[in-house]
Copies of this chain bind each other. A is one copy, B any other.
Amino acid sequence: MTELLLYEAARAQLTVERIRPALAAGHTVICDRFADSTTAYQGAARGLGVDTVVPLHALATGGVLPQLTLVLDLSAEEGLQRAASARDKDRLELEPLAFHRRVRAGFLEIAGREPERVRLIDARGAEDDVAKRIQAAVEAQWSARP
């Protein structure tokens, strides 16, 4: 619960100090991790419950939520291998495999509930191939904008 509230506190500050001014200036804002990650990590994998977490997102952000979330989907085993080779593990990456399986299940549940807003990207294979899949998903969303 402490971890959840700290993430929401950080997000509240980020939203007011950075995201809202950027949106007001007409920019498109891209975040590496936002509310959907908290839903998957703290709501699903930590077991605090999606129904507990989702209202906090609205409170923390004042309703500024992503129009498009890209979930780079990979098996928990493969994802952990990539994270391990990239840099020192953080608090969440140090959790056991079962935790990361619950994280993935959490993301798949979010994508299942909101398939238009949350796009699953197959993250297997080469970086260039994954980048192409991301580009296609963003362009599809972009061309669909009013």
Please give the residue numbers on chain A whose beta carbons come within 8 Å of chain B beta carbons, in ascending order: 1-2, 5-6, 8-10, 12-13, 16, 52, 59-60, 62
Give bound CA distance, A60 to B56, whole Å: 12
Identify A1's interface contact among B1, B2, B12, B52, CB under 8 A: B12
Contact of A5 among B9, B16, B52, B62 (CB under 8 A): B9
8 contacts between A and B (CB under 8 A): A1-B12, A1-B59, A2-B13, A2-B16, A5-B5, A5-B9, A5-B60, A6-B9
Instruction: Tell me whether chain A's interface is mostly helix, strand or loop, or mixed.
Output: helix
Query: When the two chains form their complex, are residues B12 and A2 in contact, meaning their CB atoms are under 8 A apart?
Result: yes
The distance in angstroms between the C-alpha atoms of A1 and B59, with both chains bound, is: 8
